[in-house]
Structure 1
Amino acid sequence: MTADRLAGYIAQMNEAALKASDFLSGMGYDAFAADERTQMAVGMTLVLIGDAAARIMQHYPDFPVEHPEIPWNKIKGMRNVVVHDYYELDLPVVFETVQKALPDLVIQLDALRHWRPQGE
């Protein structure tokens, strides 16, 4: 696996996080709870973020250790919940995750954009 692939996974996480935020832009919880289309769109972004995080954890195991500020296991865990328990999703948790955790994640991922392994 190359550093370019790692950068691609980081970019995928960032793009999906931004899309999730866009999907909920200007929407309160009640509107989100009543809008199945937005719930499904947001759920898919969480899957995409989690898939990219899982690939980083699998193919670049040192990277998450070097960047503990990103909650890698929680991100992967949210992906698993969305995929395996979609009809049991706790919508307030999903809404809060997008509203509060994803903006922080975008900032953290932006800080990694210029990351290069030592020696490059």
Structure 2
Amino acid sequence: MKKALRAPDYLGHILAAIERIERHTADIDELGFLNSELIQDAVIRNIEIIGEAANNIQRVDPSFAAANEEIPWQVMYAMRNRLSHGYDKVDFEMVWQTICNDLPDLYKLVKNVKP
């Protein structure tokens, strides 16, 4: 039987997804991102992972999520839903802004959480 995942496991998934996004976008600028379907797809997939992991934390350990309210659990899940369900209307400029402006701070917040 598979071991049930806990909040620390999901935090690791979030950190790993952010690290993958950073690797995928390290050597490009916004124009390079906007012109690369491959990188766009990789980034979107990892943002979906971030959002799903955030939702799982809220589901399996709501007290942990509440104790770490500085982490935008709902915002992460909402972005995942927008990308997954609005796949035909993705605003890639907004995704790029998220990569540049939000993910570095999110990484620090998640990295500093004490499970």
Q: Same fold (TM over 0.5)?
A: yes
Shift of 1:27: 1.0
User: Does the CA-based 8 Å contact 2:51-2:79 persist in structure 1?
Assistant: yes
User: Does the CA-based 8 Å contact 2:17-2:50 persist in structure 1?
Assistant: yes
The letter of the residue matching 2:8 is: A
Corresponding residue for residue 46 of structure 1: 47
Question: Does 2:14 match 1:13?
Answer: yes
Which structure 2 segments of 5+ residues have no match? Answer: none
> Which stretches of structure 1, 4 residues or longer, exceed 2 Å deviation after superposition?
none
Which structure 1 segments of 5+ residues have no match? Answer: none
**SS of residue in 1 equivalent to 2:46:** helix
**SS of residue in 1 equivalent to 2:69:** coil
Q: Percent of aligned positions with the same letter in both sequences?
A: 28
Question: Does 2:73 match 1:37?
Answer: no
User: Which structure would you say has the larger RCO, counting Cα contacts within 8 Å and 6 or more residues apart?
Assistant: 1
Q: CA-atom RMSD, angstroms?
A: 1.6
Corresponding residue for residue 112 of structure 2: 111
**SS of residue in 1 equivalent to 2:6:** helix
Question: How many equivalent pairs are there?
Answer: 113
